[in-house]
Amino acid sequence: MVKIKQHDKILFIGDSITDVDRDRSNPNDLGKGYPLMIAAELQAGIPEEQLTFYNRGISGDKVIDLKKRWEEDCLNLNPDVVSILVGINDSSHQLNIDQRMNRDAIDQFEEDYRSLLKSLSQRTDAKVVLMEPFVLPHPKERMELREDLDHRIQIVRKMAREYQTDLIPLDGLFNAQGVKYGYPYFTGDDGIHPTVAGHGLIKEAWLNQLEF
């Protein structure tokens, strides 16, 4: 569980699932997805804590892209809580390159992901929330990503164990809810980008990690 304290700075960082049309010229803009939902609920529900929220998601980013901007978009903010969601673009990029999973690319993903967490542990006291990348089998072509993405999900789980972070199993959560209520309800017609309901699912899962 992540313990929130007064005046904490909470950072959400990742790809388009975090970005969600935020105004990058405004460092305080939270976009239109789960970071905004989480901030709204916490700022309204516990105003006495005076929490600050940042969104540094960038559409299309892979883990190497986070690594390149980690100093500016993470470490320089000196956050108290860091929430990371990345990986689906790594899989789609790999599929575009040679249509198959590549062990070297998977190993590089692990190395780059570990470097993010290592720098956090060395230079900040931030509590960390790792979220699994996810994909739903609608449209059916999205299942081409499954083998590669499963390896990256396992790396995220490994990093959570290694660095003793919180872990939110989004791939399982999204697929379980998709089976019950229909995949498009949570990711529309592309199997990746959440609908309002999908962002709400992430928000609920994230808030369930907190204690006060």
**pLDDT at residue number 99:** 72
65-73: average pLDDT = 98
Say whether pLDDT at 100 is over 90: no
**Residue whose tokens read 């499963």:** 150
- CATH number belonging to the domain at 2-211, selected among 1.10.230.10, 3.40.50.1110, 3.10.180.10, 3.40.630.30: 3.40.50.1110
pTM for the full predicted model: 0.97
**pLDDT at residue number 91:** 96
59-83: average pLDDT = 98
**pLDDT at residue number 101:** 79
Residue 9: CB partners within 8 Å, gap ≥ 6?
Answer: 51, 52, 53, 54, 77, 78, 79, 80, 81
State the catalytic residues.
Answer: 16, 190, 193
Q: Pick the residue with more confidence: 96 or 126?
A: 126
**pLDDT at residue number 13:** 98
Cβ contact 33:18 at 8 Å:
yes
**pLDDT at residue number 96:** 83
**pLDDT at residue number 144:** 94
Q: Domain locations in the chain?
A: 2-211
Count CB neighbours of 153 within 10 A.
21
**pLDDT at residue number 140:** 94
- Per residue in 103-114, pLDDT tens? 999 999 999 999
Say whether pLDDT at 17 is over 80: yes
**pLDDT at residue number 212:** 79
**pLDDT at residue number 63:** 98
The proportion of the chain whose per-residue pLDDT surpasses 90, expressed as a percent, equals 95
157: buried, middle or exposed (CB in 10 Å: 19+, 13-18, 0-12)? middle
Token pair of 136 as six digits: 């739903």
Which of 113-133 are b and which e, b meaning 16 or more Cβ less than 10 Å from the residue's Cβ? bbebbeebeeebebbbbbbbb
Average pLDDT, the chain: 97
Say whether pLDDT at 98 is over 80: no
